[in-house]
Structure 1
Amino acid sequence: MVQAEQAGSAVWTVPNVVSMVRLALVPVFGVLIFSGQDVWALVVLAVSGASDWLDGYLARRLDQVTRLGQMLDPAADRLFILVTLIGLTWRDVVPLWVVVAVVARDVMLACLMPTLARLGYGTLEVSFVGKAGTFALLYAFPLLLLAERSGTLGDVALVTGWAFTWWGIGLYWWAGLQYVAQTRRLTLADRERREGVS
Structure 2
Amino acid sequence: MNLPNALSVLRLAMIPLYAAVFWTGHVKLAFLVLLAAGLTDVLDGYIARSRGLVTGLGTVLDPLADKLMMITVMLSLVLSKMIPWAAAVVFFVRDVGMIVGGMYFHFTGKKPVPANGLGKLTTVLLYAAVLAIIFDWPYAVWYLWGVLVFAFFTTIMYMRSIRGSGRMPQVKGKRAHF
Instruction: Give the residue type in structure 1 aligned to 2:14.
Output: L
- Alignment RMSD: 2.8
Contact 1:116 1:123 (C-alpha < 8 Å) held by counterparts: yes
Q: Tell me how far apart the structure 2 counterparts of residues 54 and 125 of structure 1 sit (CA, whole Å).
A: 16
Aligned to 1:126, what secondary structure does the other structure show? coil
User: 5+ unaligned residues in a row in structure 2: which ranges?
Assistant: none
Q: What count of residue pairs does the alignment treat as equivalent?
A: 171
Cα deviation 1:136-163 (Å, max 9, x = unaligned): 112221221111xxxxxxxxx334x446
What residue number does 1:53 align with? 42
Instruction: Give the residue type in structure 2 aligned to 1:103.
Output: F
Pairing 1:22–2:8 present: no
Task: Report deviation, 1:56.
Answer: 1.1
Q: Tell me how far apart the structure 1 counterparts of residues 76 and 107 of structure 2 sit (CA, whole Å).
A: 36
Task: Report deviation, 1:189.
Answer: 7.7
Pairing 1:178–2:157 present: yes
Pairing 1:158–2:147 present: no
Q: Tell me how far apart the structure 1 counterparts of residues 95 and 27 of structure 2 sit (CA, whole Å).
A: 27
Picking from 77, 81, 93, the partner of 2:82 is: 93
Contact 2:64 2:99 (C-alpha < 8 Å) held by counterparts: no
Task: Report deviation, 1:59.
Answer: 1.2
Q: Which has the larger radius of gyration?
A: 1
User: 5+ unaligned residues in a row in structure 1: which ranges?
Assistant: 1-11, 148-156, 193-198
Aligned to 2:110, what secondary structure does the other structure show? coil
Q: Which has the higher contact order (CA 8 A, sep 6+)?
A: 1
- TM-score scaled by structure 1? 0.73
Q: Tell me how far apart the structure 2 counterparts of residues 76 and 119 of structure 1 sit (CA, whole Å).
A: 20
- TM-score scaled by structure 2? 0.80
Contact 2:71 2:95 (C-alpha < 8 Å) held by counterparts: no
What residue number does 1:75 align with? 64
